[in-house]
Amino acid sequence: MTPLQALRTHWPEYLIEAWGLGSFMIAAGLVATALGSPTSSLSRMVVDPLLRNVVAGIAMGLTAIALIHSPWGRRSGAHLNPAVTLTFLRLGKTHGWDALFYVIAQLAGGTAGVLLVASLLGPAFTDAPVSYAATMPGTGGAAVAFVAEMIISAVLMFVILTLSGTPRFAGLTGFAAGTLVALYISFESPLSGMSMNPARTFASAAPAMQWDYYWIYVCAPLIGMLTAAQMFLAIRGVRRLACAKLLHADDQRCIHCGYDPAIGGSKS
């Protein structure tokens, strides 16, 4: 398939990926401002840092679950993350042009979401301490942040591959991913800022012009997820790999495995 053919036939999935990460970033911006801006009454009420992280984690975990299980999320597969998309490409579960356009859409959609929040909330979102909801290393520094990002990304991908590749538990994949997002924001974010997602970090870094540590959030999630994929292949084998969707619905076509509900057929 040529790039023009991919765009002509798969553009709805690409737009959904942009919408998905854009929506996630809008939610992240609103939550970060509500809990972090000195002008917010909720910020003055919730003063304990751990409690703030737990509230933010629950909010963003529920957001992730809602996006994955939405009709549009079920259509694209709800990658919402270049590291996820490129790992599925490495596993041979998505196609080259689709992966490229997914990544472009994720970057564009996430950035648009941040810019929208900035236009709505202004300095409360763009100024410190919220600072565009940017992901930055914690007090442990860049090395700790890199290792932490690599570990949490590996765990996320291994869980996704394991659950989606087990028919009995495949329907729980989205819930598990959202639960991990909630736990990571609650307890891991003081180490790395909790990204796992090059496009999520880019979306905040671009308007904020905060590029000093961006390499962490590109390299560590990708290394972690690719490592998890290799571990999965070594432990369970290629035959246990499912399709490149976090939730494979019977009523939605799949550009990754070719499933089409209009004509039936099996899902890979």
Domain boundaries, the chain: 9-240
Give the count of beta carbons closer than 10 Å to the beta carbon of residue 160: 26
User: What are the residue ranges in the chain where pLDDT is below 70?
Assistant: 264-268
For residue 94, give the DSSP letter: S
First to last CA, the chain: 20
Do 114 and 210 form a contact (C-beta atoms < 8 A)?
no
Beta strands in 57-180 (DSSP E): none
pLDDT reported for residue 268: 46
Closest C-alpha among 244, 210, 228, 184 to residue 57: 184
Q: What is the pLDDT of residue 263?
A: 77
Q: Which CATH class is domain 9-240?
A: mainly alpha
Vertex 17: Cα angle to 20 and 110 (nearest 5)? 60
